[in-house]
Amino acid sequence: MLLLAHRGASADAPENTLDAFAEAARQGADGVELDAMVCGSGEVVVCHDERLERLARLPWEVRATPWWKLQRADVGSPLGFAPARIPLLEEVLEALPAHFLVNIELKCERFDDGGLAKKVAELVHRRGLAERVVCSSFNPVCLFRLAAVAPELRRGFLIDPDKPWAVQAYGVSPLVSSHSVHPFHEACTPERVAAWRKSHLRVAAWTVDDSTRAAALERMGVSYLITNRPGAVRAALRAAA
């Protein structure tokens, strides 16, 4: 089971920043999970929230704010860390260790993704990272668009625990998932994980910081564990082995 640092090692550094991804590497993660969206001037930035109230105490909407302005936002201090800034996806891909698996979540709740899927695909191919990247999304339209422009890129559907399970797991996911399925960890059972694996899909469970739960998911056959604390979870799994 590979450990992917959720928004980087976000328990110990400001989420989705270069500091968080460097900390993930320091803690021995196998890769990272990060959020990608298009900003107001068209660049793909790494940020989870559509608006910056929580992250920077600013009323800015990312998709309406140009990159030059977003660089002014401090997304570290409001979270209790040193000042940090929102990075471009290209910066992150350049900075990550060469062995890292990268789970890029396409963040877009609208039908029109502003070119997100196409731009992410172009970045991944330009950097020669297709074999190390998995693209996921709660929005199946994003994954359909990704399949249309880059069918060879690995796709995984994120299952929303607040929406009907059966429709997502048995209706939508088989249509858009080519590599993996990404359920909330509480939705994982031995039977479900076995069924996904039988369908040749890897399972990426999120977000798990409890070592007992992590060990249980590993026994089920989960492929990727997304965690805020990759170092602590790794140490606990090794101690229990």
| Joined tokens for residue 213 | 């739960």
**52: pLDDT strictly greater than 80:** yes
Q: Cα–Cα distance between 53 and 30 in angstroms, integer?
A: 31
Output the pLDDT for position 181: 98
Note the pTM of the prediction, 2 decimals: 0.97
| 38 neighbors 44 (Cβ within 8 angstroms) | yes
Output the pLDDT for position 240: 80
Q: Cα–Cα distance between 231 and 241 in angstroms, integer?
A: 16
CATH 3.20.20.190 is held by the domain 2-31+95-240: yes
How distant, in Å, are the alpha carbons of 1, 139, 213, 220, 239 from that of 208?
A: 13, 22, 7, 14, 17
| 121 neighbors 111 (Cβ within 8 angstroms) | no
In this prediction, residues 137-143 reach a mean pLDDT of 97
Q: Cα–Cα distance between 11 and 217 in angstroms, integer?
A: 21
**241: pLDDT strictly greater than 80:** no
Q: How confident is the model at residue 110 (pLDDT cuts 50, 70, 90)?
A: confident
Beta strand pairing call for 44-46 and 31-38:
antiparallel
Q: Cα–Cα distance between 213 and 209 in angstroms, integer?
A: 8
Q: What is the mean pLDDT of the chain?
A: 97
In this prediction, residues 69-85 reach a mean pLDDT of 98
